[in-house]
């Protein structure tokens, strides 16, 4: 067992973990944070996407020990309870989901994307989300949601 | 999927990692971004008893100019390579190749040293290193040696890297303002190349046309003798014997190599 200290959704954690424990299993099973999903489990689908020190990462392909000392953010940590992050609100407004399984990963990938590129073009949104698969929507409403989120967040910054 | 159990050791320096490799031998594997190794461990295709984490060693990260070369630390992540102003200006083909690896999440984690050591013949960075006539620095108990890209890749997932060595840095020549081309043919976004071609400064490298990234020697010679890009590209598949899979048979891969080489020689990226 290895002791890891890290911050998850703003809260400092210190836990003994098996070195082979994947970050996604640490989040879901040790901490009970179930937003990030295990989809393909092969670094393809992006349903397990979280932010690691502000950058999107697929938590099925990160060991919990690799996240030691870092800040992890999951969809649960984006906004205070009862509130929605502008990206979450934009996904709801644009109906950027159907079954919802990919949505936490899409939202986290979007937050990461808009952190790096606050004004993406539609093509940049599509390329920026190429690591996230949705089997329901055909992506159109997801792309609309991301562009809408970018606009709202810019308006908030400007306000 | 859950990897088999292993012991985890955080290496504090390259020397520490080399000492740990000497201690554990073939039972140990180096871990940096983990984006080649962890998928293999989850499938139990790799079952190292010890993982030596080199991902936090400061001396292994970073990008700097050194004379006529750029020196890129082994744990430099693809996203940082792709975004580096220095690399974009001095070795634009390498920055572009880094931006073609996987998807954004993968590029945030995967490292150049990891990708080169893993040596997937369909991968972007091994092909880019060969096209650029780059080299790798390998540090072991006997010291550091430099191995040229042309000599580094030995076979499918096999390189000149010895079990007691750490790939510490990558060198590529600074080639500002030298035209280059990069072509990667995929059926699906985020996939490995069915065939890839990188061309710069009279050199042409092919991905997934054999067990290692290959030079298209006949096409290079034709170019040097004054052939047009279209004429030279006709020779791109000469001497190759690419594998066959559900994506492409041998003849189709050779066709792709010719077409993509022509496009790359016309200095197109994309």
pLDDT at B93 over 90: yes
My answer on whether A70 and A110 are in the same domain is no
Contact check, Cβ <8 Å, B2/A63 = no
B146 beta partners: B137
**How many angstroms separate the Cα of B49 from the Cα of each of A60, B26, B46, B145?**
20, 9, 10, 27
Of A120, A117, A134, the C-alpha closest to A56 is A117
A32 and A65 in a single domain? The answer is yes
DSSP-assigned beta bridge partners for residue B222: none
Residue B251 has pLDDT above 70, yes or no: yes
Q: Answer yes or no: do A113 and A62 share one domain.
A: no
Model confidence at A95, pLDDT cuts 50, 70, 90, reads: very high
pLDDT of residue B2: 95
Q: How confident is the model at residue B270 (pLDDT cuts 50, 70, 90)?
A: low
Does residue B117 form part of some domain?
Answer: yes
Number of structural domains chain A divides into = 2
Whether B140 is in a domain gets the answer: yes
A90 shares its domain with A67: no
Identify whether A80 is part of a domain.
Answer: no
- The pLDDT value recorded for residue B69 is 98
Mean pLDDT, chain A, rounded, equals 96
Query: What number is the average pLDDT over the span B245-269?
Result: 95
Name, in order, each residue with C-beta under 8 angstroms of B156's C-beta and a sequence gap of 6 or more: B119, B121, B211, B212
Lowest mean pLDDT among A153-157, B76-80, B156-160, B254-258: A153-157
CATH of the domain at B33: 3.30.43.10
Q: Considering the domain boundaries, does residue B1 fall inside one? A: no
Range of the domain at B242: 181-265
Asked whether residue A48 carries a pLDDT value surpassing 70, the answer given is: yes
Q: Closest-CA residue in chain B for A57? A: B105
Of B128, B156, B173, the last residue of a domain is B173
Do B252 and B227 belong to one domain? Answer: yes
The answer to whether residue A49 is domain-embedded is: yes
Answer yes or no: is A7 within a domain.
Answer: yes
Decide: B18 and B140 in contact? Cβ < 8 Å.
yes
Q: How confident is the model at residue A156 (pLDDT cuts 50, 70, 90)?
A: confident
Whole-number pLDDT of residue B14: 97
Model confidence at B27, in pLDDT bands (50, 70, 90)? Answer: very high
**Does residue B147 sit in the same domain as residue B189?**
no
- Say what the pTM is: 0.96
Q: Mean pLDDT over residues A81-93, rounded?
A: 96
Residue B269 has a pLDDT of 72
> Does position A159 have pLDDT exceeding 80, yes or no?
no
CA–CA gap between residue A46 and residue A37 (Å, rounded): 9
What's the pLDDT tens digit per position in B33-84? Answer: 999 999 999 999 999 999 999 999 999 999 999 999 999 999 999 999 999 9
Distance from CA of B230 to the nearest CA of A (A): 31
Q: Are residues B100 and B157 in the same domain?
A: yes
Task: State the CATH number of the domain containing residue B115.
Answer: 3.30.465.10
Specify whether A90 is located in the same domain as A149: yes
Which helix (H) or strand (E) segment holds residue B83: the answer is helix B78-83
For β-strands B50-53 and B28-31, DSSP reports them as: parallel
In a domain, A47, yes or no: yes
Same structural domain, A40 and A19: yes
User: Is B2 within a domain?
Assistant: no
Do B136 and B240 sit in the same domain of this protein? Answer: no
Nearest CA-CA partner of A78 in A119, A117, A107: A107
pLDDT tens, residue by residue, B117-147: 999 999 999 999 999 999 999 999 999 999 9
Q: CB atoms < 10 A from the CB of B145, how many?
A: 14
Check CB contact under 8 Å for B103 and A55: no
Q: Which of B1, B5, B108 sits opposite A57 (nearest CB)?
A: B108
Question: Quick one: B161 and B67 in the same domain?
Answer: yes
Calculate mean pLDDT across residues A53-80. Answer: 97
A130 CB neighbours in chain B (<8 A) are 103-104, 189-190
- ipTM surpasses cut 0.90: yes
Q: Could you give the number of structural domains in chain B? A: 3
CATH of the domain at A16: 3.10.20.30
Same domain flag for B147 and B239:
no
Tell me which DSSP letter residue A99 carries: S
pLDDT digits (tens, 9 = 90+) for B199-237: 999 999 999 999 999 999 999 999 999 999 999 999 999
A62 Cβ partners below 8 Å, 6+ apart?
A22, A23, A24, A52, B34, B38, B109
Pick among A5, A18, A19 to test the B interface (most B CBs inside 10 A): A19
Q: Are residues B89 and B164 in the same domain?
A: yes
C-alpha count within 13 angstroms, C-beta hemisphere, residue A130: 18
Angle (CA) B196-A42-A106 rounded to 5° is 95
Domain range for residue A37? Answer: 2-75
pLDDT digits (tens, 9 = 90+) for B160-174: 999 999 999 999 999
Q: Which of residues 118-137 of A touch B (CB under 8 A)?
A: 128, 130-132
pLDDT interval class at A150 (50, 70, 90): very high
CATH number of the domain to which A128 belongs:
1.10.150.120
């Amino acid at each position: 067992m290895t002791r890891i200290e890290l911050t998850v959704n703003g809260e400092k954690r210190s836990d003994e973990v098996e070195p082979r424990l994947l970050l996604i299993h640490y989040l879901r099973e040790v901490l009970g944070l179930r937003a990030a999903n295990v989809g393909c489990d092969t670094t393809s689908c992006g349903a397990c996407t979280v932010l690691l020190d502000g950058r999107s990462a697929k938590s099925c392909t990160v060991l919990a020990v690799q996240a030691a000392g870092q800040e992890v953010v999951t969809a649960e940590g984006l906004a205070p309870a009862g509130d929605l992050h502008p990206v979450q609100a934009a996904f709801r407004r644009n109906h950027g989901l159907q079954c919802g399984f990919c949505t936490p990963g899409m939202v986290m990938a979007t937050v990461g994307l808009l952190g790096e590129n606050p004004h993406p073009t539609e093509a940049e949104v599509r390329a920026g989300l190429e690591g996230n698969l949705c089997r329901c929507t055909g992506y159109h409403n997801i792309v609309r949601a991301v562009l809408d989120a970018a606009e709202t967040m810019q308006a908030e910054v400007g306000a | 999927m859950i990897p088999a159990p292993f012991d985890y050791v955080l290496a504090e320096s390259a020397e520490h990692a080399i000492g740990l490799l000497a201690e554990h031998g073939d039972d140990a594997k180096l871990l940096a971004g983990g984006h080649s190794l962890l998928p293999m461990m989850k499938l139990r295709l790799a079952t190292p008893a010890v993982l030596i984490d080199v991902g936090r060693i400061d001396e292994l990260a970073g990008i700097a100019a050194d004379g006529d070369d750029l020196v890129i630390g082994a744990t430099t992540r693809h996203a940082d390579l792709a975004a580096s102003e220095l690399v974009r200006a001095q070795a634009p083909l390498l920055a572009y190749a880094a931006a073609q690896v996987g998807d954004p999440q993968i590029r945030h984690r995967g490292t150049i040293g990891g990708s080169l050591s893993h040596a997937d013949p369909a991968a972007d960075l091994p092909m880019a290193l060969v096209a650029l006539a780059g080299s790798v620095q390998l540090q072991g108990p006997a010291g550091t040696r430099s191995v040229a890209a042309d000599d580094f890749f030995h076979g499918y997932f096999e390189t000149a890297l010895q079990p007691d060595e750490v790939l510490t840095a990558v060198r590529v020549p600074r080639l500002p303002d030298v035209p280059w081309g990069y072509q990667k043919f995929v059926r699906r976004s985020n996939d490995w190349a069915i065939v890839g071609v990188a061309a710069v400064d009279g050199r042409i490298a092919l991905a997934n046309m054999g067990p290692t990234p290959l030079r298209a020697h006949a096409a290079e010679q034709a170019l040097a003798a004054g052939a047009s890009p279209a004429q030279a590209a006709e020779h791109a598949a000469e001497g190759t014997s690419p594998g066959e899979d559900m994506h492409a048979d041998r003849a189709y891969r050779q066709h792709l190599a010719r077409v993509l080489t022509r496009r790359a020689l016309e200095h197109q990226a994309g």
